[in-house]
């Protein structure tokens, strides 16, 4: 078996679910099932304990997740402590709160080292339609501030609620704002508050994939190749020449540390999750399954936990075994198979 899928944990980074509150209401978001509870925050004491644990196993990259981490009250203190420990901090954010002048000035004193800016929409109508956000002026100000401060690009999640014209408009507008790079991910299926498949999903309709490819190629030209794509779907659903081109240009990613076991996510209480979207049942409970870094690694490499990943990461169909993309793809996001069936697969046969 390819070493990538030996089911051993090889953690190089960690993700902290700091809160579930958010100032957007995107229907496709995995946080829908949490009801965006503003009381569902990680304490700074838990965060400090986790930072110490991560330092003990030489993990020096930590990403804060939400909800929206900018609404997490201890964020600036967390950034300061992490920096003092030599930990690099990243944040996944919509950047809206950066449009608040008073908060922005406080943030600049203890900023994250980098941010991944998720664009929910451009223009007042689109942002209201896709994310139920009404203060567009503040949102745009915040995004522009973050782009200017970090000198980086942006990303967006394409859902079935978004038109391909919307996608092009987001790319075109953020390019005009000065974005250096542009990344696109597809919306995944989601789970409800009970851990069951949501009744609605906002995944791309498979008959729209060819139209998406045409828009992607325009965006690729606009950004002069500085584009990335995380499909979250089996690669065989796309034209073979398109996937080959993306692989050759280094633009394609399966994106998920679950596949590589290259990291782990903590919930607000310090327990370990499979990922931020599967938050209902931890696979490691702090104080019970692990107490420090070494016992955490031992737990994650125990046979019962590896068995969980063997089941999660098995190919969705035997036909995948003959596909030349299987080492890159693994069938896409595991949650999507709550909404997909294996008969959609069209394996690209290996060259003889």
Strand 61-65's sheet: what is its strand order? 114-117, 88-93, 61-65, 13-17, 263-266, 272-273
Within a domain: 83: yes
Give me the CATH number covering residue 194.
3.20.20.70
pTM confidence score: 0.93
Within a domain: 352: no
Strand 182-186's sheet: what is its strand order? 154-158, 182-186, 227-230
Q: Which residues of 297-320 are buried (b: 16+ CB within 10 A; e: fewer)?
A: bebbeeeebbeebeebbebbbebb
Task: Give the span between the Cα atoms of 187 and 343, in whole angstroms.
Answer: 21
Tell me the torsion sign for CA atoms 144, 32, 331, 17. positive
Within a domain: 109: yes
Domain count of the fold of the chain: 1
Within a domain: 239: yes
Within a domain: 152: yes
Within a domain: 349: no
Cα 118 to the center of its chain, rounded Å = 10
Within a domain: 131: yes
Q: Report the SS3 class of residue 13.
A: strand
Name 215's Cβ contacts closer than 8 Å, sequence gap at least 6: 164, 167, 168
Longest dimension (CA), the chain: 63
Within a domain: 4: no
Domain that holds residue 143: 9-344
Name 332's Cβ contacts closer than 8 Å, sequence gap at least 6: 231, 232, 233, 234, 254
Q: What tens-digit pLDDT sequence spans the chain (352 residues)?
A: 344 456 888 899 999 999 999 999 999 888 777 777 888 899 999 999 999 999 999 999 999 999 999 999 999 999 999 999 999 999 999 999 999 999 999 999 999 999 999 999 999 999 999 999 999 999 999 999 999 999 989 999 999 999 999 999 999 999 999 999 999 999 998 888 788 888 788 999 999 999 999 999 999 999 999 999 999 999 999 999 999 999 999 999 876 778 888 899 999 999 999 988 888 889 999 999 999 999 999 999 999 999 999 988 888 888 888 888 887 788 888 889 889 999 998 878 765 3
Tell me the torsion sign for CA atoms 100, 106, 108, 113. negative
């Amino acid at each position: 078996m390819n070493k990538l899928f030996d089911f051993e944990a090889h953690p190089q980074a960690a993700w902290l679910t700091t809160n579930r509150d958010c100032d957007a209401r995107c229907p496709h978001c995995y946080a829908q099932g949490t009801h965006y509870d503003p009381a569902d925050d990680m304490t700074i004491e838990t965060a400090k304990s986790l930072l110490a644990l991560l330092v003990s196993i030489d993990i020096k990259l930590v990403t804060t997740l939400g909800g929206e981490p900018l609404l997490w009250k201890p964020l600036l203190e967390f950034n300061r402590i992490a920096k003092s420990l030599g930990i690099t901090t990243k944040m996944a954010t919509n950047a809206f709160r950066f449009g608040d002048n008073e908060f922005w000035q406080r943030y600049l004193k203890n900023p994250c080292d980098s941010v991944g800016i998720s664009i929910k929409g451009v223009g007042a109508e689109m942002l209201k339609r896709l994310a139920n956000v009404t203060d567009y002026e503040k949102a745009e100000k915040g995004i522009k501030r973050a782009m200017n401060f970090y000198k980086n690009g942006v990303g967006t999640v394409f859902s079935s609620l978004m038109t391909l014209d919307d996608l092009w408009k987001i790319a075109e507008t953020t390019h005009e704002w000065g974005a250096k790079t542009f990344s696109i991910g597809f919306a995944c299926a989601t789970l409800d508050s009970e851990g069951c498949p949501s009744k609605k999903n906002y995944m791309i309709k498979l008959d729209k994939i060819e139209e998406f490819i045409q828009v992607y190629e325009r965006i690729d030209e606009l950004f002069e190749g500085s584009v990335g794509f995380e499909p979250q779907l089996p690669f065989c659903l796309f034209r073979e020449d398109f996937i080959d081109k993306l692989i050759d240009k280094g633009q394609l990613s399966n994106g998920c540390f679950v596949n590589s076991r290259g990291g782990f996510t903590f919930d607000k209480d310090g327990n370990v999750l499979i990922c931020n979207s599967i938050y209902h049942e931890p696979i490691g409970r702090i104080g019970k399954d692990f107490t420090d870094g070494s016992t955490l690694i031992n737990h994650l490499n125990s046979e019962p936990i590896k068995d969980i990943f063997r089941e999660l990461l098995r190919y969705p169909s035997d036909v995948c075994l003959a596909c030349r993309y299987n080492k890159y793809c693994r069938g896409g996001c595991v949650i999507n198979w709550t909404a997909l069936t294996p008969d959609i697969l069209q394996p690209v046969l290996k060259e003889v």
